[in-house]
Structure 1
Amino acid sequence: MLGRHARLLALCGLSLLLHLIVIAWLETRISAPLPLIGNPALAVRLTDVTPVAPAPAAPAAALPSPMPALPAPAPVQASVEAAPAPARPAPPQPAGGVAAAEMPSRYRVTVPPSATLRYALRSADGSDGEALLDWQTDGVNYRLALDGITGAIESEGGTDDAGIAPLRARYRLGAGSAAIAFERERGAIVLESLGRSVQDTPGSQDGASVLMQLAGIGLADPDQLQDMVDIYVGRLDGAAVERFQVLGKETVETPLGAMETLHLARAGAARLEVWLAPEQGWLPVQLRATAPDGSVRTQVVKEIRRAPAP
């Protein structure tokens, strides 16, 4: 009986040993790395990623309503008040305490050739007389003598880019006279009888040369004589822009016959009217002055003498 049991124990022990050997052999086969054929080794790093739980859905009642459409911008009103423009600075005053003055437009000017005009003078009281305009120039310098309804004035000077450029004008006053001087480099007109100066500007004239400047404007370009012509004029008591209104074409009867003219008028307390004749080189063939008291004096050309052509 004991022998039988011994044999069973031996068989069980042998069977257990065989199982242990098989298990050990399998473990060595499983743990051995598999051979790689033709591929490089791959390194793999595992990262512990914690999944983020999705936010819970908001209740249906808490969901925002769709955004409403934005309203169109309101149109800019045309009545919006603009910012005021900056004030224009006053023109600089030249040296010597010269007062500033308004500057007129610039015109193209052709200097009229020398000519002497004699006029028949008629006054409101019926008295007759004569008037004279004597213009002498070499194209650069000039001398002018005017004696008529606008007074007795002698003017001399030259020319520049703005046309006739007086340097000195002498006004006869009864038995005496008074003068003004144009100091163009200083930009001043010196009123010698008053002992002071006023501002000068290119294109400025005296009481006589203004008539020849008007003629020169017409000679250069008649289209400039439209609507009005502004000329800065120096006189014994000061200087100012004198505006000549263009009144239109007019036929003037003269001792030399009918002449087609352009009628201009300077308004003011002492009104002056001028008739320029294009066919006579735009010379002033008639002048009329109306005094503040309403009296009228007129001078009409009766003779025109021109210097012989060189």
Structure 2
Amino acid sequence: MNFAAFPGRHGRLVVLCGLSLLLHLLVIALIDMRITEPPPFDGVPGLAVRLVEPAPSAPAPVPGPAPAAEPALSAPTPALTPIEQGPSTAAPAAAPLPATPAEGAEPVQMPSRYRVTVPPSVTLSYEVRTAVGPEGEARLAWETDGVQYRLALDGIAGSIESEGGTDDAGLAPTRASYRQGLGRAGIAFDRERATIVLESLGRSLRDMPGSQDGATVLMQLSGIGLADPDQLQDTVEIYVARASGAAVERYRVLGKEQLATPLGAMEALRLARVAQPGELLMEVWLAPGQGWLPVQLRTTAPDGSTRTQALKGIQRVPAG
């Protein structure tokens, strides 16, 4: 064995170990220097990076209940309160009216529907009298084919001409004309748009199912009696358009009477239109034995004076 070579190899191993140790120390020193003295970023310190993170007071929106700070928006009168309570009653019925309401009229409720049978064509002639005595004559001319109609009324209820048809609420006027002095005032019923146009006043009113004019209201009452007399109890309500406006007219059923007319005695059901103070009171007598036709009308003025038109003749048109 050559022992002379051992020291040489051992020496080289010691040298390599020393170099390795020295290299490790140098690496450790470099790492320590990088940790203790990091090179700065250009212009912005490391903490500036944290400023772009979302602030705790403004978290990203997430589905679910409102954040705790939301109650600060509450007030004694919440902003949503008017919407929750609904629209103002100045425009009745839930939604704004498509037309101007009648003067001084309160929001109205649609009258109950009645079953109606169209009365057959007929011409009625009347005698007009006051407390003093006879005053003249009146006339009601009703012409219909069961669907379309024409009506002319001239008497104590005024001079009115009307034409139209029928629908599921009974008579359905399309036009009416009222005599006023030397002229006439027209009204038009636009059933599709649910409006009534007062042509002489340049105004539009709301229409309602079953609406009538000042002449057809008489024949509508007759048709209600023809369809089912039991409907004529307590109060009958009908929406009526006249030259100056439209409103629900209420006719109180006062009961049956034995009526004396120029045509003879007949049983009739008496109805009285409810009038406001200062208004003209109108009463109507419908005769079951004459097809529920209006055989007598009476008006009472605020001063108590009366005018009555009583049936004196019936001219019926033969069927077919």
Normalising by structure 2, what TM-score? 0.67
Per the alignment, residue 95 of structure 1 pairs with 98
Query: Does structure 2 retain, via aligned residues, the 8 Å contact 1:119–1:299?
Result: yes
> Larger C-alpha radius of gyration, 1 or 2?
1
Per the alignment, residue 5 of structure 1 pairs with none
Alpha-carbon distance in 1 for matches of 2:86, 2:96: 17
1:101 aligned counterpart, secondary structure: coil
The counterpart of 1:286, out of the listed 266, 272, 296, is: 296
Unaligned runs of 5+ in 1: 1-85
Q: 1:98 to 1:243 in 2, by over 3 A?
A: closer
Q: Between the two proteins, what is the percent identity of the paired residues? A: 68
Query: Does structure 2 retain, via aligned residues, the 8 Å contact 1:98–1:188?
Result: no
Query: Does structure 2 retain, via aligned residues, the 8 Å contact 1:94–1:188?
Result: no
Give the CA deviation at 1:97: 4.9
| Residue 142 of structure 1 pairs with residue 149 of structure 2 | yes
Q: Which amino acid aligns with 1:304?
A: I
**1:197-208, aligned counterparts within 5 Å?**
197-208=204-215
Comparing both structures, which one devotes a greater share of its residues to helix? Answer: 2
CA RMSD between the two structures: 1.7
Normalising by structure 1, what TM-score? 0.70
Alpha-carbon distance in 1 for matches of 2:245, 2:109: 13
Give the CA deviation at 1:127: 4.3
Alpha-carbon distance in 1 for matches of 2:154, 2:200: 21
Give the CA deviation at 1:255: 1.8
Per the alignment, residue 275 of structure 1 pairs with 285
Give the CA deviation at 1:95: 3.2
**1:158-169, aligned counterparts within 5 Å?**
158-169=165-176
Query: 1:289-310 CA deviation, whole Å, 9 max, x = no partner?
Result: 0112221000000000110121
Q: Which amino acid aligns with 2:198?
A: L
Give the CA deviation at 1:237: 1.1
Give the CA deviation at 1:236: 1.0
Query: 1:102-129 CA deviation, whole Å, 9 max, x = no partner?
Result: 3211100000000000000002343420
Q: 1:220 to 1:93 in 2, by over 3 A?
A: farther
How many residues are paired up? 225
Give the CA deviation at 1:98: 5.7
| Residue 107 of structure 1 pairs with residue 114 of structure 2 | yes
| Residue 195 of structure 1 pairs with residue 202 of structure 2 | yes
Unaligned runs of 5+ in 2: 1-84
2:120 aligned counterpart, secondary structure: coil
